[in-house]
Amino acid sequence: MDKQTQEEIQRVFKLQKAHQRKMRATTAEERKAKLNRFLEVIQAHEEEIIEAIQQDVRKPHKEVQSAEIAGTVNSIKDNIEHLDEWMAPKEVASSLNSEAHGQLIYEPKGVCLVLGPWNYPFMLTMVPLAAAISAGNTAIVKLSDMTENTEKMAAKIIREAFDEKEVASFEGDVDVATELLEQPFDHIFFTGSTRVGKIVMTAAAKHLASVTLELGGKSPTIIDDGYDLIDAAKKIGIGKFANAGQTCIAPDYLFIKEDQQEAFANALQSVVQSGFSSDGVLDKNKFTQIVNERNFNRIKALYDDAISKGAEAIFGGEFDKEDRTVHPTVLKNVTPDMKIMQEEIFAPILPMLNYDQLDDVIDYITERDKPLATYIFSSNQNVIDKVLNYTTSGGAAVNDVLVQFRELNLPFGGVNTSGIGSYHGVYGFKAFSHEKAVYHQAN
């Protein structure tokens, strides 16, 4: 990295550090004004944002609008609507003296770093940024250089909406991110892989900075006997194949009874035909491409390894290297020794595993890293309770997928290898706040 960029990063960090005293004293109305300005700029540039994302990963217009734009806008509006309530000190009764009392006061953590991913590059950067602003912080933002056009567009929006002493954005490759991590931030919010999350946490430890790590993992899905396979296929199909499977909470693999697999696969293929195809052929205008050649080759290697060890493609299995398209694919005869069952797939390939007893499924899940999500499709409350009570994951959904992310009244985050901390709604405000305990002695 050139010395000029390094000096610029250091200059902006010092500028924000000096401005933090003023930011921490901002009222709810002042913070809401900043959020409203942020919202106005995003809405004014909506089509430009969509175009930038489409240039990066050929994501369909409808997908970008619903996930990247609406997801961001709804989150900012939620912050604005509830900020007065979130910022208000919370009264606590004293256990020492009935005439004394305690208070919880929410104060900003300080200067924050937000590092965004490439799979939903706009939303998964701007939503935590809005939370940082709501909590009264200053922030520096760095999007992934793998989505270069979106990175440039986001930087334009930030420059238009904020003074650099409040929020600034830096563009560039891994060297820029590395230099940012050298700065003594008060809090670092990172969305990305577990591998890079470990690097971020190591860097944060040098300054004892707190972290929120939104990572990933292999999210299991279970279909119980007797559940409506058509309903399950509609939900799993959209959740797995939207964004070409490049979603951190997408169903990664499926446990389903062997005698139900053919019917489920047929139903899932119908979902693909109606949602992503035209005249029986995958319509690439409706289907996102893989982000880059390295990831395309990684996915192809996982598929080839599975096939070489006995897996069979019920449908799909096509790879178009020239435009990095992996067709929606379902595999059967999958076994745990296959590489596709040992790392997060992050692609539109769904492996199906046989099971006889629910206990075997629970054993399989609990013996592995804790996933970001677990999905259970069942009409039997005892089965639902057993899965929820005996497995651990960042979040879960019953008889649906992905919905737990969209619900702003629930915290979203992982556990251990799938993440640390959570956000969304009030949980995002708290992630960027220090909850200060104050004791008021009786006179």
Catalytic residue numbers read 214, 248
Question: Reduced to 3 DSSP states, what percent helix, strand and coil does the chain have, rounded to the nearest 5?
Answer: 50, 20, 30
Angle, helices 261-276/229-241, rounded to nearest 10 degrees: 50
Burial of 273 (0-12, 13-18, 19+ CB in 10 A): middle
Cα–Cα distances in angstroms (integers) from residue 186 to residues 79, 181, 198, 212, in the given order = 22, 11, 18, 12
**DSSP one-letter string for 22-44:** HHHT--HHHHHHHHHHHHHHHHH
Distance between CA atoms of 167 and 125, rounded to whole angstroms?
13
**Alpha helices by DSSP H, 64-137:** 70-87, 123-134
Is 413 in contact with 430 (CB distance < 8 Å)? Answer: no
| Locus of tokens 């820029």 | 176
Encoded tokens for 112 = 């924050």
The helix (H) or strand (E) run that includes residue 275 is helix 261-276
Distance between CA atoms of 395 and 236, rounded to whole angstroms?
16
